[in-house]
């Protein structure tokens, strides 16, 4: 297992981050604004900050409730709720794409790391 200097890689790529205990809080600019992703040194893994999961739940609730509202003939409220739910889901998907790109970037740097850094 090769070890890379994650902070150095992020600096080279122009990705901003802050230290938070044993983890790095990485800021990525997603479609609807900055997204915070945690890089945990102990687990050596990337994970969303907790609000992403909450946003996904809210999105599904909004989409389901919009279907009921549209069924009752309240098209304006139902349309707004459906649109907001879909926008949230789209942002989550785009954030996931950012996360996959970031993992790939770190893996590429890890493969390119010299053997002496093991």
Distance CA 23, CA 46 (A): 10
The position carrying tokens 């990705």 is 15
pTM to 2 decimals? 0.51
pLDDT single digits (tens) 82-117: 888 888 777 777 777 777 777 777 777 767 766 554
The separation between CA 113 and the C-alpha centre of its own chain, rounded to angstroms, equals 26
pLDDT single digits (tens) 59-81: 888 888 888 877 787 777 778 88
First to last CA, the chain: 7
Tell me the three state secondary structure of residue 15. coil
Backbone dihedral angles phi then psi of residue 20, each to the nearest 5 degrees: -140, 90
Q: Where would I find the H helices in the chain?
A: 6-13, 51-71, 75-112
């Amino acid at each position: 297992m090769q070890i890379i200097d994650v902070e150095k890689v992020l600096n080279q790529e122009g990705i901003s981050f802050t230290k938070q205990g044993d983890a790095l809080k990485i800021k990525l600019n997603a479609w609807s604004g900055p997204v915070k992703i945690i890089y945990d040194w102990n687990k050596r893994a990337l994970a969303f900050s907790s609000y992403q999961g909450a946003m996904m739940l809210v999105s599904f609730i909004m989409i389901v409730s919009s279907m009921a509202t549209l069924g009752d003939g309240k098209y304006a409220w139902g349309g707004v709720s459906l649109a907001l739910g879909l926008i949230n889901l789209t942002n989550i998907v785009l954030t996931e794409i950012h996360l996959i790109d970031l993992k790939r970037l770190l893996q590429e740097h890890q493969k390119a790391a010299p053997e002496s850094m093991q």
